């Protein structure tokens, strides 16, 4: 499996956790990240956005990446600084092409029950990038809105 270790930043180091592929542990995993936001005074909008995006990323990693295989793990790394929140989620699956996910907002796809997770991540975070063949996502949320909007 390719390795994509988070870069280091002296003042605000990354915290990395290895999670079992179990959906019931997601709320607990979120708590650590959200507590860090709260400690640095991020507002409710940031809290909601990060929680939603993180949950979508973890569910995707477990369900679509690891296919709920209990022998596989999910690596979650996060760094909360005063000006930005970085989150990386990596699964042990085969990866995927995020460009291949159909737009769920078109008329023909509006009633499809799936395909909205990535869209929500992109909507609520300022940057969402996939690497390592599509099985790692790196999301950034800035405290202040950036010019240029969402990542491609």
Partner 1 sequence: MSEEPEIIQVVDRSGVKLVRIRPSAILREAEVESFGDGLLALAEVPGQRVVLSFLGVQHLTSLVLGKLIHVHKRLAESGGELRLADIDPHIYEVFAITHLDRLFRIFDREDEAVASFIAEAEA
Note the residues at the interface with partner 1 (CB under 8 A). Answer: 23-24, 26-27, 44-45, 48, 51-52, 55-56, 59, 104-105, 110-114, 116-117, 119-120, 123
Q: Which is nearer to partner 1, 49 or 79 (CB)?
A: 49
CA 18 to the chain's CA centroid: 14
Q: Which residue has the tokens 């996502």?
A: 137
CB–CB of 15/78 below 8 Å?
A: yes
Picking from 142, 37, 137, 29, the residue whose alpha carbon sits closest to that of residue 87 is: 137
Q: What is the spatial distance between Cα 2 and Cα 95, in angstroms, rounded to a whole number?
A: 11
Q: Which is nearer to partner 1, 51 or 143 (CB)?
A: 51
Token reading at 51: 């929680």
Q: Which is nearer to partner 1, 10 or 113 (CB)?
A: 113
- Taking the complex as a whole, how short is the minimal distance between the CB of residue 22 and partner 1, in angstroms? 9
Q: Which is nearer to partner 1, 46 or 79 (CB)?
A: 46
- Taking the complex as a whole, how short is the minimal distance between the CB of residue 5 and partner 1, in angstroms? 28
- Taking the complex as a whole, how short is the minimal distance between the CB of residue 88 and partner 1, in angstroms? 19
3-class secondary structure, 124 = helix
CA 108 to the chain's CA centroid: 27
- Taking the complex as a whole, how short is the minimal distance between the CB of residue 11 and partner 1, in angstroms? 31
């Amino acid at each position: 499996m390719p390795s994509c270790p988070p870069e280091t930043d002296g003042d605000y180091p990354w915290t990395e956790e290895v999670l079992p592929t179990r959906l019931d542990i997601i709320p607990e995993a979120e708590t650590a990240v959200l507590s860090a936001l709260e400690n640095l005074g991020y507002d409710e909008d940031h809290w909601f956005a990060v929680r939603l995006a993180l949950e979508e990323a973890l569910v995707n990693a477990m369900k679509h990446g690891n296919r709920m295989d209990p022998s596989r793990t999910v690596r979650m790394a996060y760094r909360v600084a005063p000006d930005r929140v970085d989150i990386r989620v990596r699964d042990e699956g085969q990866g995927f092409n995020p460009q291949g996910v159909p737009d769920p907002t078109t008329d023909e796809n509006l009633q499809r029950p799936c395909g909205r997770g990535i869209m929500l991540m992109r909507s609520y975070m300022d940057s969402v990038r996939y690497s390592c063949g599509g099985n790692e996502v790196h999301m950034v949320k800035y405290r202040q809105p950036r010019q240029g909007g969402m990542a491609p």
